[in-house]
A and B are shown apart, each in its own frame.
Chain A
Amino acid sequence: SQQGEEDPQALSIQEGENATMNCSYKTSINNLQWYRQNSGRGLVHLILIRSNEREKHSGRLRVTLDTSKKSSSLLITASRAADTASYFCATDELSGGSNYKLTFGKGTLLTVNP
């Protein structure tokens, strides 16, 4: 079952604009991660934010986490055509000690028009 749900499902912007994607989840988590996927190929890890963190930056990426609302947002600033991809949030589910798996949402398809 899907844990996270990204919003919007699709987003189309012009190059240079900022893109914001949101993710909501249902259960308590240890960490939340964002991944990018180009054209149905492998996922690229973008950023991890721990449950005790509220904001994290990496280059043009800014991620926020609100555990009280069970939500996260990914902001891409000064977007480029190369940022066109699907973006997924993934939450961890820690069980049985240190076993670990990721639960993904359905993703946001971002299109950056040149």
Chain B
Amino acid sequence: DAGVTQSPTHLIKTRGQQVTLRCSPKSGHDTVSWYQQALGQGPQFIFQYYEEEERQRGNFPDRFSGHQFPNYSSELNVNALLLGDSALYLCASSFRGLQGVTYEQYFGPGTRLTVT
């Protein structure tokens, strides 16, 4: 049973560029959440996708956008990159289903983004 996978593992971009990160959820999961983790900090919630819609959003600017596909995989897009966007980006999946939410989130290995 494959867990949460993310690609790429590492990425180096220049200020002002755009980046797309990808996530495949754990088999059977239908909800994907994205988190940003700066060095030495805990993960910060960016947004969550369920049924191909953004359901909740953290305190991140509109430069951060996302998408969920019919197969539940997800993308995180960041436009006009800033040096401060350098971080580990974590994807987490969970199963929500029709009866509500389940609370355990399973995390992928993350994508390390460096903006120069």
Of B55, B103, B107, which is within 8 A of A31 by CB?
Answer: B103
Q: Which residues of B contact A31 (CB under 8 A)?
A: 103
Of B4, B45, B108, which is within 8 A of A101 by CB?
Answer: B45
Whether A40 contacts B42 by the Cβ 8 Å rule is: no
Q: Which residues of B contact A104 (CB under 8 A)?
A: 35, 42-44
B66 to chain A, nearest CB (A): 14
Please measure, in the bound complex, the distance between the C-alpha atom of A31 and the C-alpha atom of B105, giving whole angstroms.
12
Give the size of the chain A interface in residues (CB under 8 angstroms).
30
Please measure, in the bound complex, the distance between the C-alpha atom of A105 and the C-alpha atom of B58, giving whole angstroms.
15
Whether B90 contacts A42 by the Cβ 8 Å rule is: yes
- Contact-residue bracket for chain B: 20 to 34
Considering only residues 43-97 of chain B, those with a C-beta below 8 Å from chain A are 43-45, 48, 50, 55-56, 58-59, 88, 90, 92, 94, 96
Q: Which residues of A contact B103 (CB under 8 A)?
A: 30-31, 33, 48, 92, 100
Tell me if A96 is interfacial: C-beta within 8 Å of chain B: yes
Tell me if A78 is interfacial: C-beta within 8 Å of chain B: no
Residues of B within 8 A of A (CB): 4, 33, 35, 37, 39-45, 48, 50, 55-56, 58-59, 88, 90, 92, 94, 96, 100-101, 103-110, 112
Instruction: Give me 15 A-to-B residue pairs in the complex whose CB atoms sit less than 8 angstroms apart, sorted by A's number.
Output: A1-B59, A4-B42, A31-B103, A42-B4, A42-B107, A48-B103, A92-B103, A94-B101, A96-B55, A96-B56, A98-B100, A98-B101, A100-B56, A104-B35, A105-B42
6 additional A-B residue pairs with CB within 8 Å, beyond A2-B42, A104-B43, A106-B41: A33-B103, A40-B112, A92-B103, A99-B101, A102-B45, A104-B42
